[in-house]
DNA sequence: ACGCCTTATATTCATGTAGAGTATAATCGG
DNA sequence: CCGATTATACTCTACATGAATATAAGGCGT
């Protein structure tokens, strides 16, 4: 495909088999039920920078870049994915992108000149189902994806495309699965319905679907982070990285709902949290919620020790 | 720590911020209830090679190296983790390791000169609990980990180490969790009980615990692959990548047991497989199993289409 | 041919958990 | 003091899971 580029890099002195490695961060916080990502460049890019010799490790390099570009110190970090440059748009030379997900609280609003929190759903308007399926899904994504499917050469491909669209977006009475955020973005990319897909300039660029784009493959990386986080909150107590030290159960629920992009059954949510003993009461209450004062809770950090929390789904014998 | 190396790389012409990127493969197959990994260099290394300019993508580069070094073509591939060189032992220059998990069948025994399948449990004897907890856990790992814990300076650290060892290995009536394969290896590394941990030559090297080691951080990468696979078989139908086209339910169970390193309740396993409609009968039976002839099944490839199969663990509303 | 061993397959039961709905309690503002 | 609002508690049903037991169908030795 792009084999013509194979011998392009003729720098003298440099070893042929070396590449540039970029560290890219998806830094997430939740403010007032709004899931936010830390951005730079007028919300057009994620914090990032090359892995340098001075960096002690990949993670410390990432921390350095994020702090330098946004002033935001990072707590919880996990690796997302390493992309090769075939996936990178506009990359001028051989490069790989090592992406990370970081969770933080947007507490200290000090020195936040370049710090810019943007809502996830500015980039992915179709991902927020907290008020029901957003209109853009039925009114725009569905017909345009169907057009794309019908544009295939053979009928097998047409069926295949329809099926993939239906699974990803929950068409035809399928249920919406919030964890498929990455698949949805990639499907739209493949259908050339997002701005990034038409950057090559080869095809006549149609109007992209709603949703802000980013430089290079940053929006794809953001989608990867969203998908990972939506999956992870279900089996690891990572939400608490996004919560203040003390909170009410409803605040916790609203945070999870913001991340998942869908609503949660309140009594069941409370039951789940309580029976898993994820939190403990502080003894205080707050009346700032409007009605009956709510108990305040804090995260039981001990659960990080107690549970290895890898759920089984196989009929393993307990013997 | 290794900051002294910071300015070491003074090559003229080459850009400073470029690194070597190695592609490393954990290629898994299961033969006769034995989980195997594809190795080279007398079973001392995993197939690997640098990411080169000629490679179309990271995955195709990996495929190339594995096929060249072992003759084994790869089917299913997924990325595992990208390690920085602080984690690499004996790395002479700045480098990162991008590791992958591949699943295959060891069918065509043709041209397998350099191809060498080695059992997982040669490298991790403490991971096979199919015949109960292996003796090495109680007889060797436990006392030596306790010694390590007791060797800490302050009592808080001692308690912490004991707790981590207990969680990882299921001491003190805790249950064994097969998915913690990586944590177990890293704990042994930290306690300097594996050969890799004493390569620096600084400390007087004690006798490592049983279990074959590998070059660089390859055993760590293998542990990463084992942990990932043990986790993934529980929520995605990846086992079938390791099965022949047609198989009995017991063969399928034995394969899962080989991977998980523990036994499965037979009736429940069958129920799980059947009610999820993962397989369909071929109509044939085989009498090669000793007793009553077993029905032969094949994987229902349609499930890959139908299900997005991301299980929920939150009380989401279905409305 | 018969019984027995082995493996395959089917059935049952108790328990626990998830989804969903309903009921009561404690504030505040009029 | 009433009702709007939010918090908290309880109930019910369906289904999945862990575990045990029962029946079926071959081979094999005598």
What is the average pLDDT across A243-252?
95
pLDDT at A109: 55
In this prediction, residues A276-288 reach a mean pLDDT of: 90
- A52, A308, A317 ranked by CB distance to B17: nearest: A52
pLDDT over 60 (residue A11): no
| Cβ–Cβ under 8 Å, residues A121 and A226 | no
Proximity of residue B285 CB to strand C below 7 A: yes
Residue nearest to nucleotide C21 (CA to C1'): A267
Q: Rank A70-74, A106-110, A145-149, B69-73 by mean pLDDT and report only the highest.
A: A145-149
Size of interface A-B (CB pairs under 8 A): 185
- Taking the C-alpha atoms of residue A284 and residue A281, their distance in angstroms, rounded to an integer, is 8
DSSP A139-190: IIIHHHHHHHHHTSSSHHHHHHHHHHHHHHHT-TTPPP-GGGHHHHHHHHHH
Residue of B nearest to A159 (CA): B305
pTM: 0.89
List CB contacts (< 8 A) between B92 and chain A: none
pLDDT tens digit sequence for A51-103: 987 788 899 999 999 999 999 999 999 999 999 865 554 445 678 999 999 99
For residue B246 the two structure tokens come to: 């047609």
Neighbouring-strand partners of residue A295: A285
Query: What's the count of helices (H) and strands (E) in chain A, helices before strands?
Result: 10, 8
Contacts of A284 (CB under 8 A, 6+ apart): A246, A295, A296
Question: Is the Cβ pair B18, A16 closer than 8 Å?
Answer: no
Q: What is the pLDDT of residue A54?
A: 77
Distance measured from the CA of protein residue A286 to the C1' of nucleotide C29, in angstroms = 18
- pLDDT above 90 (res A198): no
User: Residue A306 CB: number of other CB atoms within 10 A?
Assistant: 12
Contact of B157 with chain A, judged by CB distance below 8 Å, is answered with: no
Nucleic acid strand C within 7 Å of B250 CB:
yes
The answer to whether A62 touches A100, Cβ cutoff 8 Å, is yes
Residue of A14 and B72 predicted with greater confidence:
B72
Query: Is the minimum distance from the CB of B315 to strand C below 7 Å?
Result: yes
Name the band, by pLDDT with cuts 50, 70 and 90, for residue A199: confident
User: Considering CB atoms only, which of A51, A163, A312 is closest to B19?
Assistant: A51
B55 touches strand C (CB under 7 A): no
Question: Residue B312, Cβ neighbours under 10 Å: how many?
Answer: 11
pLDDT tens sequence across B178-235: 999 999 999 999 999 999 998 876 666 778 899 999 998 999 999 999 999 999 999 8
Query: CA end-to-end span of chain B, whole Å?
Result: 54
Low-confidence ranges of chain B (pLDDT < 50): 1-14, 89-91, 311, 318-319
Residue A217 and residue A87 in contact, taking contact as beta carbons nearer than 8 Å: yes
Nearest to A175 by CA among B311, B278, B275, B302: B311
What does the pLDDT read at residue B218?
95
A131 interfaces chain B, CB cutoff of 8 Å: no
- Is B21 in Cβ contact with A20 (below 8 Å)? no
d(CA A150, nearest CA chain B) in Å: 19
Q: Which of A113-122, A151-160, B12-21, B79-88 has the lowest mean pLDDT?
A: B12-21
- Distance (Å, whole) CA A234 – CA A311: 10
Query: Measured in angstroms, what separates residue B292's CA from nucleotide D27's C1'?
Result: 8
Whole-number Å distance between alpha carbons of A293 and A273: 19
DSSP letter assigned to residue A222: H
Q: What is the spatial distance between Cα B104 and Cα B77, in angstroms, rounded to a whole number?
A: 9
């Amino acid at each position: 495909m792009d084999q013509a580029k194979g011998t392009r890099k003729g720098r003298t002195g440099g070893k042929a088999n070396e590449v540039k490695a970029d560290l890219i961060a998806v830094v997430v916080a939740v403010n007032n039920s709004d899931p936010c990502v830390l951005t730079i460049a007028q919300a057009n890019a994620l914090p990032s920078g090359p892995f340098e010799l001075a960096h002690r490790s990949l993670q410390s390099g990432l921390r350095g870049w994020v702090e330098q570009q946004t002033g935001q110190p990072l707590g919880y970090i996990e690796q997302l994915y390493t992309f090769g440059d075939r996936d990178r748009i506009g990359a001028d030379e051989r490069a790989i992108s090592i992406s990370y997900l970081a969770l933080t609280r947007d507490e200290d609003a000090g020195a936040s000149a370049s710090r810019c929190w943007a809502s996830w759903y500015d980039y992915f308007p179709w991902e927020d189902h907290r008020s029901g399926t957003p209109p853009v899904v039925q009114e725009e994504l569905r017909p345009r994806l169907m057009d794309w499917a019908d544009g295939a050469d053979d009928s097998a491909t047409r069926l295949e495309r329809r099926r993939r669209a239906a699974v990803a977006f929950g068409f035809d009475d399928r249920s919406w699965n919030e964890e498929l955020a990455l698949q949805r973005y990639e499907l739209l990319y493949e259908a050339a319905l997002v701005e990034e897909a038409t950057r090559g300039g080869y095809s006549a660029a149609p109007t992209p679907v709603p949703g802000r784009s980013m430089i290079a493959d940053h929006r794809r990386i953001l989608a990867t982070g969203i998908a990972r986080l939506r999956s992870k909150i279900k089996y690891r107590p990572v939400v608490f990285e996004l919560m203040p030290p003390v909170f009410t159960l409803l605040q916790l629920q609203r945070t999870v709902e913001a991340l998942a992009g869908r609503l949660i059954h309140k009594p069941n949510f409370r039951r789940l949290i309580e029976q898993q003993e994820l939190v403990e009461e502080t003894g205080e209450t707050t009346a700032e919620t409007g009605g009956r004062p709510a108990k305040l809770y804090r995260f039981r950090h001990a659960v990080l020790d107690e549970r290895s929390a890898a759920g089984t789904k196989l009929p393993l014998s307990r013997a």
